[in-house]
Amino acid sequence: MREFLSITRALSDEGRVRALLALADGELCLCHIIELLGLAPSTVSKHMAVLHQAGLVETRKEGRWIYYRLADGAASACAKKAIAMTLDCLARAGRIRDDAKKLKCVRKMTLEQLCRHYKTC
């Protein structure tokens, strides 16, 4: 029950859902997610922490960069189902399609450019 509630709470915010869906095409640095969502770095960090605590995303740190990806093999069955359902239900939503287009441009930016823009590093 606790895991289910944690997952549903994590998916109850539009910003967190948008971040989760952005990871469907692969790993992203926190700087990429900040640029995509257009939210304050501290807000995005909190969103990603909630997704991580719910078991929906995994992280790795490389130097000063923090990378996020969808939880995979080590994820619980409940987390995997929640990710699959979210992707299935929202992949074609207008806002998510707009995010996918924006993300293509964001991925072309270097991490240094993104961090200078937000002064996060």
CATH of residue 18 = 1.10.10.10
Q: Confirm whether 41 is domain-assigned.
A: yes
**Residue 9 carries which side chain, given as an amino acid letter?**
R
Instruction: State the residue for tokens 């450019």.
Output: 113
Task: State the average pLDDT over residues 50-78.
Answer: 91
Q: Confirm whether 51 is domain-assigned.
A: yes
- 29 pairs with which residues across the strands? 67
Task: State the average pLDDT over residues 47-74.
Answer: 93
Q: Confirm whether 115 is domain-assigned.
A: no
Q: For residue 111, what pLDDT band results from cuts at 50, 70 and 90?
A: confident
- 58 pairs with which residues across the strands? 69
51 CB burial (10 A radius; 0-12, 13-18, 19+): buried
> Does position 78 have pLDDT exceeding 70, yes or no?
yes
Task: State the average pLDDT over residues 75-82.
Answer: 89
Task: State the average pLDDT over residues 49-72.
Answer: 94
Domain span at 52: 2-106
Six token digits for residue 120: 């996060």
Q: Confirm whether 86 is domain-assigned.
A: yes
| Domain total of the chain | 1
